[in-house]
Amino acid sequence: MADIPDYLIERSRERRQLLTGDTSGDAGGGAGDAAGVAATPAAATAAATAPATAPAVLAPQPVPAPIPEVPPPTPPSVLAALGRKRIPYWAMPVLLFLPIWAFLYVGTLESPTRGETGLIGNGEEVYTATAACSSCHASDGAGTNSGPQLSGGEMLLTFPETPDGLGLAQQIEWIVKGTNDTGVGRPYGATSRGDAGEGRVAGWFGEMPGFSGDLTAREVISVSLYERAVHNDSDTARTVAALVDEMTASGDIVLPESFPADITAEEIQALLAPIFGAAAMETESAES
Ligand code: HEC
């Protein structure tokens, strides 16, 4: 056991006297003194036993009660907050309509269902606005009294999807010429059209204006592909539209400013040949 320095023993004794108001603790202190002074094993044993008697003296002493803590004064800002009404009454209707407003707001964030992009998007613009094809054929292609139905595969019966692009070329020719430049009574489109396989003849329904002077070549191509892709669900038309965008951008094909009214389907087909070559390759690689 390490020696306890005298001054610690002295301090301990003074402290005990102060607490107990009793000098009988001097005996313990004395023993402690002895331990502090004497370094003999016997004295050390005495010192070890002495503290055992000390608690007996200290035990009855009441532990001073802890001073009760005074709660800090409530800050005025908190008092003001407690006194205030939680939600003002005028805010209730606003809060009630908040979910409805949120619902409507989210609705405006959704992209329009019919938003087409690229060449098909240009075609939609031509169909509904620039050339107003929709005024005779209806915006969904279902037809009106002024123009026959184009949707639901109808138009692909007249101008079929053919690997050589002839069907599309004939459709483009038709839109450029209309009823009069085709010539009333003259056939257009696939001859397999109709129950008897007689095909269409200009003037069968009415009179459609030609658009050679009103639309650019690109616009006629775009509206043709729009009708095929959107009104007739043709994936081929979407592929071809993407290729037209690509190949005109790269200069692989150069479109004329507009198609003259005396153009033939074969000339249009030749112009689009690189696209159908590429489309055929894409279809082949998709199938393999
Ligand atoms: C003034 C009304 C009118 C407008 C505008 C019009 N068409 Fe037509 N369209 C017709 C009529 C009528 C026919 C039938 C032709 C006939 O009887 O000679 C027709 C036929 C067609 C056909 C052939 C359908 C088939 O199966 O025979 C296509 C394709 C077509 N229109 C596309 C268009 C496009 C594209 C536009 C806009 C660029 C357009 N039309 C604008 C009235 C219109």
Q: Give tens-digit pLDDT for 44-74.
A: 444 445 555 555 555 666 777 778 778 788 8
pLDDT at residue 75, rounded to an integer: 84
pLDDT at 279 over 80: no
Residue type, 103: F
Q: Which residue has the higher pLDDT, 67 or 23?
A: 67
Strand partners, 147: 144
What is the rounded CA–CA span in Å between residue 129 and residue 122?
10
pLDDT at 40 over 90: no
Instruction: State the pLDDT confidence band at 277, using cuts at 50, 70 and 90.
Output: confident
For residue 229, report the distance from its CA to the centre of ligand 1, in Å: 17
pLDDT at residue 151, rounded to an integer: 96
pLDDT at 127 over 80: yes
pLDDT at residue 39, rounded to an integer: 46
For residue 35, report the distance from its CA to the centre of ligand 1, in Å: 123
Task: Please tell me the residue having the least CA distance from ligand 1 atom 18.
Answer: 203
The mean per-residue pLDDT over the stretch 239-262 comes to: 94
Q: Where in the chain is the domain with CATH 1.10.760.10?
A: 118-287
| pLDDT above 90 coverage of the chain, percent | 51
Instruction: State the pLDDT confidence band at 97, using cuts at 50, 70 and 90.
Output: confident
Q: What is the 3-state secondary structure (H, E, C) of the chain?
A: CCCCCHHHHHHHHHHHHHHHCCCCCHHHHHHHHHHHHCCCHHHHHHHHHHHHHHHHHHCCCCCCCCCCCCCCCCCHHHHHHHHCCCCCCCHHHHHHHHHHHHHHHHHHHCCCCCCCCHHHHHHHHHHHHHCCCHHHHCCCCCCECCECCCCCCHHHHHCCCCCCCHHHHHHHHHHHHHHHHHCCCCEECCCCCCCCCCCEECCCCCCCCCCCCCCCHHHHHHHHHHHHHHHCCCHHHHHHHHHHHHHHHHCCCCCCCCCCCCCCHHHHHHHHHHHHHHHHHHHHHHHC
What is the rounded CA–CA span in Å between residue 157 and residue 105?
43
What is the rounded CA–CA span in Å between residue 8 and residue 32?
10
Rounded to a whole number of angstroms, the CA Rg of the chain reads 50
pTM: 0.65
Instruction: State the pLDDT confidence band at 25, using cuts at 50, 70 and 90.
Output: very low
Ligand 1: atom nearest CA of 201 is: 18
Instruction: State the pLDDT confidence band at 165, using cuts at 50, 70 and 90.
Output: very high
Q: Residue 4: CB within 6 Å of ligand 1? A: no
In terms of residues, how long is the chain? 288
Instruction: State the pLDDT confidence band at 33, using cuts at 50, 70 and 90.
Output: very low
pLDDT at 149 over 80: yes
For residue 253, report the distance from its CA to the centre of ligand 1, in Å: 28
Q: Which residue has the higher pLDDT, 255 or 53?
A: 255
Q: In this predicted structure, which of 57-71, 161-175, 183-197 has the lowest mean pLDDT?
A: 57-71
Would you identify the CATH topology of the domain 118-287? Cytochrome Bc1 Complex; Chain D, domain 2 (1.10.760)
Average pLDDT, the chain: 83
Instruction: State the pLDDT confidence band at 110, using cuts at 50, 70 and 90.
Output: low
